[in-house]
Amino acid sequence: LMLLLLLLMLLLLMLMLLMLLLLLLLMLLLLMLMLMLLLLLMLFMLLLLLLLMLMLLLLILLQEKKFVKRLEK
């Protein structure tokens, strides 16, 4: 009887450990996901920034051309 109890305890312990391990794995996965999302977000922001810069550059160039045309007149 004692042996049986001991075995049961051991099994419970193992199960708990397994659960803990699973939980840890899940946490890690979630963390990875978050990191990935963060990276994607950063890339997106960088792209937007680049686009904005290009637009500004184009605007400046257009203004310059207009200015030059006005000067020619």
- String of DSSP letters for 42-53: HHHHHHHHHHHH
Residue pLDDT, tens place only, 4-62: 999 999 999 999 999 999 999 999 999 999 999 999 999 999 999 999 999 999 999 99
Give the whole-angstrom CA distance, residue 64 versus residue 59: 9
Rounded to the nearest angstrom, the gap between the alpha carbon of residue 65 and the centroid of all alpha carbons in its chain is 42
Is pLDDT of 2 > 80? yes
pTM of the model: 0.54
